Structure 1
């Protein structure tokens, strides 16, 4: 079984962060979409990566499952329509996991423009009534992956979401992955890295298919 995780932006620092946080999972390969923007921070960015990402999937026939490691889940429906193996989006997986961890959840977004896009997705999934709130770091994707102040912002925004009633938190960008464990320890509530959630679902799906 081979799970291929695709970072649809071209920022290798984000991919390295994914590799670090997925070391405990067997048979996972993380790839960077070199044709993608440096960070996916708008609907235009999200839409622009779909076709090159599908090309990368076609060029990876050894994959038993794919994970799209961008919280906008760009091209998820298109990928599922053409892929012969399961495809998982990290926003969908993160939300599904959050529903199992707490009655109400909060989402930490990278920027204010992302929130409307995320809310549309949650409305489509029918989970808005379980959303305690979504708040933004107001940082770029690159800053969340490399920035010295990222963790301090995560602590502040996470605490505000807990004040809103969130019993667990979802990191709303793959670039935040390396901060999951220390943030969970600091805030004392479950913190979900959606890429880990998606890889967990992919692994479970592949194991179940062989039983």
Structure 2
């Protein structure tokens, strides 16, 4: 049996981790690798700025170094904080949810839209997509302008997702990526409502991790 795929929530909000755990339940396959969702207790309550993103890098590296039993890691925060540092110390694959979510959406559509948590996040996302070389296929990015906690718990989150999703479709998006791990619970109903593919990036990253682990059995 392979070691677990360790999905790390880099913020300290346990409600977000619990939502990830629920969203990944159907990915726990008989004969497949276990999936373990953990909270980075040293992290901020929500990773909502460049400073927040930078401050979790070393705690993430320490957690990765401590989990020698893992068969793969997923950094479950959009913009993939610490991914290069974690890859530099990990003997197993490390997946980031922005990279995985964008690549998955691009396999479903020519032009895609990104749903951000807050406008302040858009520059950070844009810089990473430029590094990925995919900016020509991004129809747009619009923000909910909610906190990470509100997106995970808020009663008005779905209505705001519908509004932002329609705006991105008007921009030319043919698939959407949810730009925060806390939105996972809304993926399926939003896809049904909008009529285009909606990608939860954590599910996308875990799918890639499962495929990698199963292709390289111990």
- Shorter-chain TM-score category? over 0.9
TM-score (normalizing by structure 2)? 0.95
Query: Equivalent residues in 2 for 1:167-206 (5 A)?
Result: 167-206=174-213
Distance 2:64 2:152 in 1: 24
In structure 2, the partner of 1:74 is: 81
Is 1:24 the counterpart of 2:31? The answer is no
Shift, 1:64, TM fit: 0.4
- Aligned to 2:54, the other structure's residue is in SS state helix
In structure 1, the partner of 2:12 is: 10
In structure 2, the partner of 1:127 is: 134
Distance 1:7 1:183 in 2: 23
Distance 1:169 1:33 in 2: 27
Q: Which of 95, 98, 102 is the matching residue for 1:88?
A: 95
In structure 1, the partner of 2:62 is: 55
8 A contact 2:65–2:89 mirrored in 1: no
Shift, 1:12, TM fit: 0.5
- The list of structure 1 runs, each at least 4 consecutive aligned residues, that deviate by more than 3 angstroms after superposition, is none
Is 1:64 the counterpart of 2:71? The answer is yes
- Structure 2 unaligned segments of length 5 or more: list them: 29-33
1:169-188 deviations in Å (ceiling 9; x for gaps): 00000011111011001111
Shift, 1:194, TM fit: 0.3
Shift, 1:139, TM fit: 0.4
TM-score (normalizing by structure 1)? 0.98
Shift, 1:165, TM fit: 0.5
Shift, 1:42, TM fit: 0.3
8 A contact 2:101–2:199 mirrored in 1: yes
In structure 2, the partner of 1:44 is: 51
Equivalent pairs, count = 211
Distance 2:103 2:115 in 1: 16
Distance 1:147 1:119 in 2: 26
- Aligned to 1:24, the other structure's residue is in SS state helix
8 A contact 2:116–2:141 mirrored in 1: yes
In structure 2, the partner of 1:98 is: 105
Distance 1:174 1:69 in 2: 6
Shift, 1:148, TM fit: 0.6
Instruction: Give the aligned CA root-mean-square deviation in angstroms.
Output: 0.9
